[in-house]
Structure 1
Amino acid sequence: MLKRMTVSYSDSFKGLSTEVWWLALITLINRAGTMVIPFLSLYLTEHLHFTLVDVGWIMSAFGVGSLVGTWFGGFLTDKFGYYKVMVCSIIVTGVLFIGLQYLETFAMFCLGIFTVILAADVFRPAMFVALSAYSKPENKTRSVTLIRLAINLGFSAGPAIGGIIITSMGYDKLFWIDGVTCILAGILLLNVLHPKKARVLDEVVVENPVSAYSDGKFWVLFVALCLFGIVFLQYFSTIPIFYKQSHFLSEFDIGLLLGMNGFVIFIFEMPLIKWLEKLKYSKVDYMIFGTVLLGLSLVILNVSAWTGVLVIGMLLMSLGEMITFPFSNSYALDRAKNGKQGQYMALYSMSFSVSHIIAHNAGMRLVDGYGFESAWYIFTIISVVCILCFMYLLRRSN
C-alpha cells in the first residue's frame, strides 16, 4: 500500500521538463530568500519604533508596489522577453533588500518597501510566461503546481531560517542574507536558463496579439479571482485572531493549524491535480468546485463551537486552494496564447495584488463592526458571487 502510494506520488512529477524543475528551484531559493517579509511588522515596531498606524500605511505601500510591479512586469516581458526581465528583477531585488536596512524614517521606508516589492513582483508575469514556454501543453497545470510547491516550501522555510538569523545575528544580517540569496538565485538563473541552454517546448508567435485589457472573458476571470483572493486571505489576517479570541488557541496551536495548510499542499497537491486532470472536467468546473470548498470552510466556522471545526475548515480551504489556483493559472496561460502573454499574466497576477489591498483591511473592519459570525457569512456570500462569475465564464466558454 505504502509502496503504491509512493510510486503514485513520484509518477505525478514525471514528464515535466528540466527547465521547469530549474525554474522551480530558482523560485524556491527566491521565496525562501524573502525572509524579511514575515518579520517586517516586528522590525518596524520594535526596531524602528513605528506605530501600528505607520505599519498599516507601510503595508499599503507594499500592496501598491506589488500591483504596480506586476503590471510593469507584464509590459516589460512583452517588450524585452521573459528571460531578461527575470534576471534583472531577481538581482535588482537582492540589491534593494540589502539597502532597505539603511532606511529609518517613515516616508523613506514607505518609498523603500514600495520600490523593493515593485522590483520583486516584476518577476511574476515573466516567470509565468517562461513556465508556459518551458512546458508542453499537456503538462502546464502540473508545471504550475510544481512552482506553487516551490513557493510554499520557500515561504515555510524562510520564516524558520529568518527567525534563527534574527536570534543569533540580528536584523542587519537578515537583510544581507536575504539580498544575497536573491542575487544567488539570479546567478543560477543566468547559468541554467540562458536562451542558448534552455529548450522552448511551447513557443507561441502571434501576428496580431490581442490586448488582455480588451478580453471580456479575462476580465470576468480577473474579478472572480479578486473575490476568491479576498476570501482566501482571511486565513492569514482575521481568522488567526478568531482562533485566538473565540477559541482561545495559543500561538503554537495557531502555528500548527496554519502549518497544516502548507503540509497538506506539499503532500497532496501534485497527485490530486494529476488525478483531477484524468477526470476530463473543464478548468472552470474545477475553479467552481474549489470556490465552493473555500466558502464551506468559512460557513462551517459558525456551525459549532467545537474546536475540531477549525481543522475541518482549514482542510476545506486547503483543498479549495489546491484546486482553484493551479487550474485558474493554467486557464490564464491557455488564454494568453492569443495575445500579449506578459500583459495577460500581469493581469492574472494583479488580481491577487488587488485582493491583498482590499482583503486585510475589509476583514478587520467587518470583524470590528459586526463580529466574527457575521463576517464569515459575508465572506461566504462573496464566495457565492465568485462562483457566479465562474459559472458565467463556463457558460460563455461553451
Structure 2
Amino acid sequence: MNNLLKSYFGSFGGLRKEIWLLALITLINRAGTMVIPFLSLYLTKNRGFTLEEVGWILTFFGLGSVTGSWLGGKMTDKIGHYRTMAISLIVSSILFVLLQFPESFWPICLGIYLVMTVADIFRPAVFVAISAYSKPENRTRSVTLIRLAINLGFSAGPAVGGLIIATAGYSGLFWVDGITCLAAGILLLKLLHPKRSIPEPEDIVVNAKSAMSDRLYLIFIFTMVIFGFIFIQYFSTMPLYYAEHHKLDEFEIGLLLGLNGLTIFLFEMPLIKFMENRRHTAIYYVILGTVLTGISFLVINLSNWVGILVIGMLLVTIGEMIGFPFSNSFALNRSDGKKRGSYMALYSIAFSISHIFGHNSGMQLIDNFGFDFTWYFMMALALFACILLFILQKFLNRETD
C-alpha cells in the first residue's frame, strides 16, 4: 500500500508552483458550474420547454462558446492570458447570477449566449497559461493536473447541485455559480502574477504561422469536433435518458455524473504518468480514448439494468482520461514555434462547435428516433473519428520522415 501511495503522489512531482495555483483557481471556478449539467432538466422541468426548444437553446450555448473561444484567443495574443482569464471570471460571475431571470425563449437564448461567450474566453487563455508556466516535458501532466482540478470540482458540483435544487430550487445554482466565479477571479489576481510565466520570443508572436495554415492540424481539429459531439451527450441528452428511461431523480443523476469527476481525480494522473513512459504517439492515445467513448454508448443499449449506467459512465470516463490530455498535449506541441493563441483558440473552438451541433442534434435524434438509435449513432460516429485519426497519423509519420 505504501508503494502504491508513493507511486501515486510521485506522479504529481516536478510540476511548477504556478501550475498548482492555476489548478486551484480552476478547481474553485469549476466547482461552482453546477448549472451546466442540469441545464436541460432546468429548461424542461422548471421552464416548461419542449425537447426541440431545449435543443435550439443549447445551440446558442454552443454559439456563445465559439464566440468566446475565438475572442479569448484574440485577447490572449493582445493582452496576455492573465488579464484575459481575470476578465472572463469576474464578468461571467455577474452574468451567471442574471441568467436565472429570463423566462421566455429568446431572452434565455440571448442570456445563455452571453454567459458562454464570456465564460469561454477563459479556455484558450488557460491553455496558453499551461504552456507558459510548465516545462515542455511536463506539459501533458500539467494539462492533466488542470483537468483533475476541473473534474474534482465537477465531481462535487453536480452532487451538491442536486442538494441545492432539492432545498433552494434551481435559482440557488445560479447564485453559487456567480459567487464561485468571482472567488476564482479574485484568487487569480492575488496569487498568479503574469511575471512568473515564461514569455514567448517576440519573433514567434509576430512572425509565426497561424493554425489555419496548418492542414494536418485542421484534420485533427475536425476529429476533435466529432469527439466532442459524442462526448457532450453525457452531459446534455444522457441526463434525460437517466430521468426518463431509468427514472432517476436529480440527486441520483448528480451522483452518477459525479462518478466521472471522482474517477478522474483518483486515476487520471497515474494513468497519464504510466502512458507517458510508453512509446506510442499522442494520436494513438486519442484513438484509444475515442474507441472507449464509443463503446460506452453501445453498452447502455445492451441492458435495462440500472448498473449498466455505471459501466457506461466508467467507460466514457476512461476514454476521456486518455483522449483529452493527449489531444491537448498534441495541440500544445503542434503550436511550438507558432502563434500559440491561434492554435489553442482553434482547439477550444472545436469543442464549441460540438456544443452548437451536439446538443441540438442529440435532442432531435431522441425526439424523432428514440434513445437506442441515438446511442448507436454515437458509436458509429466514434468509429468514423478513429478512421480519420488513423489517416492523420499516417500523414504525420510522412511529415517526420
With normalisation by structure 2, the TM-score equals 0.88
Provide, for residues 7-61 of structure 1, a one-character-per-residue CA deviation record: whole Å limited to 9, x for no partner.
Answer: 1111111111111111111111111223333444555566666666554433222
Q: Is the partner of 1:364 in helix, strand or coil?
A: helix
Q: Distance in 1 between matches of 2:109 and 2:62?
A: 11
Q: Which moved more, 1:182-191 or 1:91-100?
A: 91-100
The unaligned stretches of length 5 or more in structure 2 are none
1:296 to partner: Cα distance: 2.4
- The 8 Å contact of residues 8 and 270 in structure 2, kept in 1 or not, is answered as yes
Shift of 1:226: 1.1
1 CA distance for matches of 2:349 and 2:100? 27
Change (3 A) 1:356 1:173: closer
Are the aligned partners of 1:294 and 1:383 in contact in 2 as well (CA < 8 Å)? Answer: yes
- Hey, what's the Cα distance between the residues in 2 that align with 1:59 and 1:46? 15
What pairs with 1:113-192 in structure 2 (closer than 5 Å)? 113-165=112-164, 174-192=173-191
What is the rounded CA distance, in whole Å, between the counterparts of 1:138 and 1:183 in structure 2?
Answer: 33
**Alpha-carbon offset, residue 160 of structure 1:** 3.8
**Paired AA for residue 93 in structure 2:** G
Residue of structure 2 in register with 1:362 after alignment: 361
Query: How far is the alpha carbon of 1:374 from its aligned partner?
Result: 3.7
Match of 1:31 in 2: 30
Aligned partners of 1:343, 1:149: CA distance in 2, in Å? Answer: 25
Counterpart code for 2:294 = G
Partner of 1:316: 315
Aligned counterparts of 1:69 and 1:25: Cα–Cα separation in 2: 22
Rounded Cα–Cα distance in structure 1 between residues aligned with 2:101 and 2:359: 28
User: Matched residues, percent identical?
Assistant: 55
Q: Per-residue deviation at 1:62?
A: 1.6
CA contact (8 A) 1:211 1:339 kept: yes
User: Would you say how many aligned residue pairs link Structure 1 and Structure 2?
Assistant: 394
Q: Which residue of 2 aligns with 1:262?
A: 261
1:234-254 deviation digits (Å, cap 9, x = unpaired): 3234444555666x4633665
Supply the distance in 2 between the matched residues of 1:259 and 1:157 (Cα, whole angstroms): 6
Change (3 A) 1:46 1:177: same
Q: Distance in 2 between matches of 1:333 and 1:365?
A: 35
Per the TM alignment, residue 191 of structure 1 is displaced from its structure 2 partner at its CA by 1.4
- Name the CA shift for 1:164/1:300 in 2 (closer, same or farther; >3 Å): closer
CA gap 1:178/1:229 in 2 versus in 1, 3 angstroms: closer
How far is 1:195 from its partner? 2.1
SS of the residue aligned with 2:15? coil
1:342-376 alpha-carbon deviations (Å, 9 max, x no partner): 11111101111111222233233334444444433
Q: Is the 8 A contact 1:288 1:390 kept in 2?
A: yes
Report the equivalent of 1:332. Answer: 331
Give the superposition deviation at 1:299.
Answer: 2.9
Relative distance call for 1:269 and 1:359 in structure 2 (3 A) is: same
The change in CA–CA distance for 1:204 and 1:394 in structure 2 (over 3 A counts) is farther
Matched AA of 1:129: V
Partner of 1:216: 215
1:325-356 superposed Cα distances (whole Å, 9 cap, x missing partner) = 00000000111223221111111011111112
Q: Against the structure 1 CA distance between its residues 339 and 255, is the aligned structure 2 distance closer, same or farther, given a 3 Å change threshold?
A: same
Higher deviation after alignment, 165-174 or 63-72: 165-174
Q: Residues of 1 paired with 2:278 and 2:264: CA distance?
A: 20
- 1:63 is displaced (CA, Å) by 1.6
Letter in 1 for 2:120: D
What residue identity is the alignment partner of 2:36? I
Letter in 2 for 1:384: L
8 A Cα contact 2:289 2:320, kept in partner: yes
Q: Structure 1 residues 257, 39: closer, same or farther in 2, change over 3 A?
A: closer
Distance 1:98 1:309 in 2: 36
CA 1:392–1:4 in 2, change beyond 3 Å: closer, same or farther? same
Residue 98 of structure 1: aligned partner: 97
Give runs of aligned pairs for residues 47-58 of structure 1, distance below 5 A.
54-58=53-57
| RMSD, matched Cα | 2.7
Distance (whole Å) between structure 1 residues aligned to residue 303 and residue 167 of structure 2: 43
CA separation of 1:391/1:160 partners in 2, compared to 1, >3 Å: closer, same or farther?
A: same
Is the contact between residue 103 and residue 109 of structure 1 (CA under 8 Å) also seen in structure 2? yes
Structure 1 length-normalised TM: 0.89
Task: Kindly provide the CA deviation profile for residues 111-130 of structure 1, in whole angstroms up to 9, marking residues without a partner as x.
Answer: 22211210110010011000
Alignment of 1:22 onto 2:21: yes
Distance 1:279 1:6 in 2: 21
Contact 2:158 2:254 in 1 (8 A): no
User: Which shifted more, 36-45 or 153-162?
Assistant: 36-45
Cα separation, 1, equivalents of 2:220 and 2:70: 16
1:204, 1:337 within 8 Å by CA — same for their partners in 2? no
Q: Does structure 1 retain, via aligned residues, the 8 Å contact 2:41–2:240?
A: no
